[in-house]
Structures are given as structure tokens and as C-alpha cells.
Amino acid sequence: MNISVVIPAYNEASMIGQVVQSVLPMVSQVVVIDDGSSDTTAQVAAQAGAVVLRHMINRGQGAALQTGTRYCLENGSDVIVHFDADGQFEPAEIPKMMEPVLNGQVDLVIGSRFLKSNQIPTLRRLFLKFGILFTWFFAGIKLTDTHNGFRVLSRKAAELIILTQDRSAHASEIIEQVFRHDLKWLELPVSVKYTAYSTSRQDGVRNEGNVKKIRVAVRFILSKLLS
Amino acid sequence: MTVFQWILLALIVIVFYKIYQRYREKVISNREMLFWSVIWVVAGLLTIWPGTTSFLASTVGIGRGVDLVVYLALILILYLIFKLIVRVEKLERNLTEIVRHQAVSRPINHDTSNRNNHSQL
């Protein structure tokens, strides 16, 4: 059973080494996608033992995930785990997250910050709630956490869910495709550590404020209307 | 004709010249040149005979000629923006595809040894 962890990373040289090293022992391989970083993310990740794919220019977290997925599918992965590069997630929770997929119960496991009592900054929590309503309206699925980068996909799910949204809207797109392909899914609680480092970044980019989320939502709607 | 109309006409002539220039430089295609020329010919005609808009407006049932021009211009602009957005989205997708292809074909630390005998579980 080949288990791969896909970690999209943009300018995460300070954290990526740790993250790769803590995840690697539990899985077959770690694939880091360096999304056009201007720092040494790629080198650090490679030294830590990850397979590194480099995007020549920055394309966004969704694009990076899809690149990683394609590589993993082409190289015989059976299970693909999505994991963040900034150290917010707990590597020790990977086996628990993988279980329902490994025993064939579901095709997709999505982490949820809200199923567990996590300390989430108030403004962030508010915007996440909006995201949940938004996703429910457009994708038809009610989740407790729509923007969670900790996921586990079966090979079948990875083959069927093809991300066309390069930036943050990919999170909603994944859910929409789960619904469209009628895949079995499950939400499991995950821990999340908000440190000063990680809150200053979002999608690997310094957080420009939540106006960005609104712009992303508008673009997502537009692309749905126009496709 | 008023001074204003003459100025407008002069500007339209300049625009025509620019269109012609771009066409010569092969920056725009035949079809594009024709499209924009038609628009500016209409603009020129309306400048020389502004009464036309009032006539057309009353035919269609809209108050003033100016209103009609604005409505039509708005529809045209929205349509062009729509086409632009679609083009840009397509460009972005193509760009990502190229970057992705390049990334996947040059992996660092790619493990070519047996891939399936590798699990801690």
C-alpha cells in the first residue's frame, strides 16, 4: 500500500524541513510542491527527504495540490494525504485520518477544526462560518469545516477529483466534486496549532486580510457561471 | 455642426488611424479591424447627425437618444468583458498546465527503486 503525503509549499523554508521529517516515518513518501518560492523551500524539503516538484512560477495552493496528485497517481500511490506546510497540523493524526480510507469505508476523509475544541481566532472563525454556508449553497454539502487542508483521498477519489481552481477556491471545488461524483466521505476532528508564524500566513502567503476571501468567492462564482 | 462635434470627429479620425496602424503592424486581425471600424463609423455618423439617436430612441420607446446610446454601449461593454474574462481564465489554466507538466517531469529525489514495498503500516 503506497501512501503519499502531498504538501504544497510557498516560501516555507523555515518550517518545511520539520514538517517533512515528522511526516515521513509514517508514510511511503512525502511530495512537496514548491509553488514558485523565492526562498530555499525546495532545497530544505529535498534535504529532509521529500520528493520535490517545483512550479517555476507561483500558481496557487489548488494548483500545487493537483500537481502533487498527478505525480503520485503516475507513480503508483494508493492513498494520497493533503497536509499543510506551515506546521499547523499534527502529523501524529495522520494514521487516524487514513484509517477509514484504508479499510475501504470512504473515499475521502476531511479534517475539521470544529469537531474538536480548538482555539481559533474569532475573526478567522467568523469567515470560516461564512465559507461553510457558501459551500453548502453552491456544493450542496454541509460540512463543519470547508477550508481544511488536512485530507485523505483514496486513489479513486484522487483520480476523480480534478482541481481547476488554482487558488483558495479549490477547497470548495473538492467538496463540489465529491458531491458530483457521489463519493463517500467523512469528517474527522483534527488539531490545529495557530502560532504567530502561521497566523501571519494563509495559503502560504502573508495574510492580506479577509477581503481576499471575498475576492476568491466572487471569482469562484464567476468561473462557475462562465464555464 | 458645433465645435464640439468637430473635435469629436477629429478624435474619431485619429482612432481610425490608430486602428489602421495596428492592422498594418499585424497586431490586430482583419476581423478585429472590421469590428472596431464599424463601431467608430457608427460613432462618427452619430456625431454628424446626433438627431439619429433621438429618432432611434423614440422608435424603440426609450426617452432620449443619449439613453439609448448608453444602454447599447453598456451591453456591448459587458459582453466584451465577459469574453475577456473567459479568455483570461483559459490562459491561466493553460499556464498552470505548462508549469505542472514541467514540475512533474523534473522531480527532485524521485525514487526509481521499487515503489510498492514501502510502508510502515
- Each residue of A117-171: pLDDT tens digit? 777 778 878 877 887 787 777 767 778 887 889 999 999 999 999 999 888 889 8
Residue B75's pLDDT band, with cuts at 50, 70 and 90, is very high
Would an 8 Å CB–CB cutoff place B18 in contact with chain A? no
Chain A hits for B95, CB-CB cut-off 8 Å, are: 57, 59
Minimum-distance CB partner of B109 among A46, A70, A102: A46
Name the minimum distance, in Å, from the CA of B92 to any CA of chain A.
9
Average per-residue pLDDT for chain A: 87
Name the minimum distance, in Å, from the CA of B89 to any CA of chain A.
8
Q: Sheet holding A51-55: strands in order across?
A: A51-55, A29-35, A3-9, A79-82, A151-154, A108-112, A185-189
pLDDT at B58: 83
CA distance A60 to A164: 11
Query: And the C-alpha cell for A64?
Result: 500545487
| Predicted confidence (pLDDT) at residue B118 exceeds the cutoff of 60 | no
Average per-residue pLDDT for chain B: 87
CB atoms within 10 A of CB B110: 14
Comparing A39-43, A118-122, A125-129, B26-30, which segment has the lowest mean pLDDT? A118-122
pLDDT at A212: 66
Phi-psi region of B56 (alpha: psi -120 to 50; beta: other; left: phi over 0): alpha
pLDDT at A77: 95
